[in-house]
Amino acid sequence: MALEVPPVVPGTLSRPTVRLPESFYTRPALTVARELLGAHLVLEEGRQRRVGRIVETEAYIGEHDLACHAAKGLTPRTEVMFGPAGRAYVYLIYGMHHCFNIVTEAPGIGAAVLIRAVEPVEGLPPQLRTDGPGRLCRAFGITLAHNRLDLQISPLYVVEGEGVPEARVARGPRVGVEYAGAWAAEPFRLWVKDSRHVSRRPARGARRS
DNA sequence: CTATTGATGGTC
DNA sequence: ACCATCAATAGG
């Protein structure tokens, strides 16, 4: 039988379209945070398709991690973190910004990766700021309505990217978790060194050319 | 460039 | 009361 050749959508040629499987997320949050760098976040709604390359993540590794919301125990809000991996954990912060996380590890372990910044790839104005967890959610239109979504079967998902070599990965303390004692110093924030779309860290000498 | 502050609502 | 934030503002 003749092979059906799908039409080429401009700008999508050679871009992977296969979702990262649930097994990708059923691993330690720090591993997932590292390997999500370079992957593509996708949100489809109707004809709209928004794509961003993930360039900054943070790992929240479990109940014992005092910076992790799961440290509060199993509550209505944190319940999704204790469930299967590869689900969206979205919450509202400071009454006006949303943060998008992906649940990691096996059920029973409350861990997740916060997506902190992407580079606009498709469906987003190139000048639109997508650095920072709140701005990124605003750009994609991610809200509490997306909480608990299964990234295998929802219009919100992640596909494999080109991968980022270790030499281009930087690590540092997570942002905004000073309340977490010794856990605040752990280098669980990862970003792509040479990306111009990494969020600015608060009160540090951020050298720019 | 740095530092400060106000906005605003879910959660416990 | 406490935030896994952001934009606007004031000042050097």
The one-letter amino acid at A151: L
Q: Where do the structural domains in chain A lie, given as residue ranges?
A: 22-192
Predicted pLDDT of residue A200: 83
Residue A156: the pLDDT is 98
Alpha carbon distance A69, A53 (integer Å): 25
| Count of Cβ atoms closer than 10 Å to residue A38 Cβ | 18
Residue type, A111: A
Q: In whole angstroms, what is the distance from residue A99 CA to residue A142 CA?
A: 8
A128 Cβ nearer than 7 Å to chain C strand: no
Find out whether A116 and A133 touch, Cβ atoms under 8 Å.
yes
- A22-192: CATH number: 3.10.300.10
Q: What is the pLDDT along chain A (209 residues), one digit of tens a residue?
A: 554 545 555 555 556 789 999 999 999 999 999 999 999 999 999 899 999 999 999 999 999 999 999 999 999 999 999 999 999 999 999 999 999 999 999 999 999 999 999 999 999 999 999 999 999 999 999 999 999 999 999 999 999 999 999 999 999 999 999 999 999 999 999 999 999 999 986 544 333 33
Q: Which nucleotide is nearest to A92 (CA to C1')?
A: B10
Name the nucleotide with the smallest C1'–CA separation from A129. C6
The pair phi, psi for residue A110, each rounded to 5°, is -90, 85
**Under DSSP, is residue A181 helix (H, G, I), strand (E, B) or coil?**
helix
Instruction: Using a 7 Å cut-off to protein CB atoms, list the covered nucleotides of chain B.
Output: 1-4, 7-12
pLDDT at A11: 53
d(CA A52, CA A95): 25
Beta-carbon neighbour count of residue A89 at 10 Å?
A: 28
What's the pLDDT at A14? 56
pLDDT digits (tens, 9 = 90+) for A63-109: 999 999 999 999 999 999 999 999 999 999 999 999 999 999 999 99
Output the distance from A134 CA to B8 C1' rounded to whole Å. Answer: 14
- Residue A69 CB in 7 A reach of strand C: yes
Side chain identity at A188, as an amino acid letter? Answer: F
